[in-house]
Amino acid sequence: MLVFRTATALKKQLLLQKKTVGLVPTMGALHAGHVSLVEQACKENDLVIVSIYVNPTQFNVLEDLENYPRNLDDDQKLLQPFSKKIFLYVPENEDLYPNGVVSKTYDFGSLAMYMEGLSRPGHYNGVATIVEALLKNTSPARAYFGEKDFQQLQIIRALNTRLHLGVEIIECPLIREKNGLAMSSRNQLLPPHQREAASVIYKSLEVILQKANTWSLHEMKSFFVSEIEGLEGFRVDYFAIASPSDLIPVEQLKPNQVYRVFVAVYVGKTRLIDTVELKRI
């Protein structure tokens, strides 16, 4: 597969192709969840750009950035079955941050105020800065993002609309490991016993979905916190149920409504997130 380190070289090659282009932005440490995005993108476009870039401005803790798993060789091996249809874009900082590694400032209103936005100040400015740069550098017809980062997805949709970038933002289903744990590059940081124990996150969410029409929001949160923090080394960062459109957490659940459950859990030092749709009849 062709590998590009600069947007200049990539754009020059794209001009020669004259094909419909899809973009799959990643931070590497690829897994089956990423592969599902690439598969869908390959079905819907003539050419797919997979970007790999660990974006420093979306990390709040330097240790988290330094420990983020990186293995370009493994990533390329995983992408090899798609090699005839994809370009790999692996830029250096200077290519995406020509004026220094500093994020722009955006106002996404309530979309960035809660959950990840509250727990990780400035995180979504970093995300939006790099996604804007990637979209402008690659000019795709479509860009593919996973449902696991639903809050991020809504912010990217808003970014695309406000900046009139004209990209179709495609939401792809959340992919889970066999034990139900949401696939994430951060799962690689967990020792085997914690990775298995972390299945409690989704198992607890499944119980909450089963009780969607009988439990109050308080009962749901109390159950989740009790299940998670009953395990050694596990701690709940947040549990929130919000409207999918504005991402404002609600205080009580109303009938005939569709909500999103958002959770973040520390497993030791590793922070994991998950989300499910909740329908209240």
Which are the catalytic amino acids? 34
Tell me the C-alpha distance between 156 and 141, whole Å. 15
The count of other CB atoms within 10 Å of the CB of residue 256 is: 7
Q: Are strands 257-267 and 270-280 parallel, antiparallel or unpaired?
A: antiparallel
The count of other CB atoms within 10 Å of the CB of residue 104 is: 12
Name the residue type at position 179: N
SS3 track for 160-211:
HHHCCCCCEEEEECCCECCCCCECCHHHHHCCHHHHHHCCHHHHHHHHHHHC
| HSE-CB of 132 using CA atoms within 13 angstroms | 18
Computed on alpha carbons and rounded to an integer, the radius of gyration of the chain in Å comes to: 19
